[in-house]
Each structure stands twice: as C-alpha cells, then as structure tokens.
Amino acid sequence: MAVVSVVMSVFNGGELLAAAVESVLAQTFTDFEFIIIDDGSTDRSVEVLHGYNDPRIILVRQENRGIAAALNRGLELASGYYIARQDADDLSFPQRLTTQTNYLDNHPEIAVLGTAALVIDSVGRPFSTFWPFTRHERLVKELLRGICPLMHGSVMMRREAVRNVGGYNPAFGHAQDVELWLRIAGRYRLGNIRDVLYQYRKHESSVTQLARVDLKIKTFAQAGKFSTATSPEEWKRFVEAFDREFSGTWRERAFEAETHLSKARVAIARRDGAAAIRLLGAAVRLYPPLFAEVPGRVLRRIWRTILPTVG
C-alpha cells in the first residue's frame, strides 16, 4: 500500500505521453503507485507505456468511456492515502508530490489541494503562470461563478474524501471538475498552494474548444445553477439549449473574441508580435467591450502575482 496513488487517464496521448510519465517517475517522493487508465487509445500510447519497466506503474486498458469514467476506474483501484492527478500531456516538477504530501500531512482540514502552474505551449515554451487563490471560501466563490480555481491535473486529494462524495459524475462532461470540487466543498475544505509545481500544456488546436466549454460553464453559473448539489439533469437541459441557441448571438462574438485573445498570448510567447497584434485587433473588432476590459485583466494578473496572499 503506497502513500500516494497517482492517477492518469490516457486517450491517444501521442508524443507527449512519455514526458508526462517520466515527470511522475522522477519525483523526489518515491512511495507512490502510478495508475494509468488507457481509455481506448488507437495510437501508440499503449506501446509507449509498455516501454516502462517500473513496478510502480499499474496499466489498465478499457474501451473508450470518457475521462470521468476513466478517472473513476483509477479511484476504485487506488490504495494510497492520497490521490494525485496527472494529465497525460502535462508535466510535474520533481518536488511536487513531496510538497503536497507534506502540506496535507500538516493541514488535515484540507481534502483537495492544488498548486500554481506554468502554462506552456505545445512544444513546452512557458507563456503564462497560473497563480491560484488559496482560501477555501474564495475557491468556492470562484466555483459558483463557473471559474475553476484549481488546476485539475495538479491536485492531490484525500482518497476517502473523494470516494465519500462518489467520485466524478460523467453526466457533467467537461464541467466534471467544477462540479466535483463543489460537491466536495459541501463536506470538506479546498486549498491551493502558490508553489509552481506543475506545467499545464495549452494546445493551440484546442483553444477554441476549451473556450467554448468555459463559456458554457460560466453561463450556467451566471444563471445561479451551480451549488454543492448541482442537478445533472438541469446541466444536460442547459447544454442542449445552449448549443441550439448559441449561433448568431452576442455570446458567439464574445466567445470568438476570447479565443483570439488566448491565441494572442501564445503568439506573444513565441515572440510573434505581428500575429499577436493581428489577433488582438480581431478580438476587439468582434467584441468592442474587450478594449476596456483587457487593461483591467492585466492589472489583476500583476496584482495576484505580487501579492500571493490575496484570496
């Protein structure tokens, strides 16, 4: 029985999978098992995983059922007192498990603990830093607004806490992490540490898809629908209506503008100034209120970076 169970779900991990696996195997904390659920990959993912001869790796293959079902399978198999998440295209810094384990050992009131993270592009170049809020009350407030204040791949959870609330609910799709954290918050406390222990990879090809998911979640939250006991039926009805009514509205223009802003940040990281200016201009033309919003966003990011205790 290990102290920590690292749980990873893989679906067509491609060339980035090996780096993610190796970042876990290189941890300074060594008393862990590494449960990898291959969720029906059709690429070389399984071949890559079979290339590791490490007794801590437990590889399970299943038909494709989606990330929530795959993670629940990992939760069922986990024997560790703590469960650490790891996404198949991200990276953990070597001291991650040591730091989070020590923190949870010394803060028994915390059931879920996230970290700060570097945001990197598809080839590993950092272009932003995720500086999280740390207080439970602020984290719950953000979740109720439809904003996920915990970097999902960076979290470490108490196994009994996440099992006691029933694990992930596949009915919520891409909102499954927001819904799970709120459900846990109804019985336990959440936390973040502002140590940069994780690298979250943001793929240019998925920016649009992720932005649309975020918009759905925030719109649902603005209607006051999120709680510590959110109805999956209500979420399903909302998603169906959103997809049906979204096209041609001001929300679609705002969504496209936000997508351009995200791509502009990646262009800046690549030192492609011309592309960044073009994307920023396109964003403002699509949704003029952004012209007034962007300076405030930048100042808030600087403020949260300078004052780590805020929130």
What are the residue boundaries of the structural domains of the chain, listed by start? 4-205, 206-306
The tokens of 215 are what?
């918009």
Q: Does residue 172 surpass a pLDDT of 80?
A: yes
pTM listed for this prediction: 0.87
Find all residues with CB under 8 Å of 23, minimum gap 6, and list them: 86, 91, 92, 93, 94
Is the pLDDT assigned to residue 299 strictly greater than 70? no
Q: Which residues pair with 4 in a beta bridge?
A: 32, 82
> Mean pLDDT throughout 215-226?
92
Percent of the chain surpassing pLDDT 70: 91
Across 125-134, 253-262, 302-311, the highest mean pLDDT is recorded for 125-134
Mean pLDDT over each residue of the chain, to the nearest integer:
90
For the segment 206-233, the average pLDDT, to the nearest whole number, is 87
| Token pair of 145 as six digits | 């607004």
Q: Is 296 left (phi over 0), alpha (psi -120 to 50) or beta?
A: alpha
pLDDT on residue 205: 66
Give the span between the Cα atoms of 215 and 224, in whole angstroms. Answer: 14
pLDDT band at 275; cut points 50, 70, 90? confident
∠ CA 14-181-73, rounded to 5°: 50
Please report the pLDDT score of residue 310 as a whole number: 55
pLDDT at 18 over 90: yes
Task: Take residue 294 and report the two structure tokens written for it.
Answer: 């962007």
Query: Which amino acid belongs to residue 99?
Result: T
What is the H or E stretch that residue 230 is in?
none
pLDDT in tens, 88-98: 999 999 999 99
Please give the pLDDT value at position 256. Answer: 79
CATH of domain 4-205: 3.90.550.10
Query: What number of CA atoms fall less than 13 Å from residue 26's CA on the CB side?
Result: 10
Looking at residues 113-140, what average pLDDT do you find? 92
**For the CA atoms of 132, 134, 136, 138, what is the dihedral angle to 10 degrees?**
-60
The confidence score (pLDDT) of residue 195 equals 96
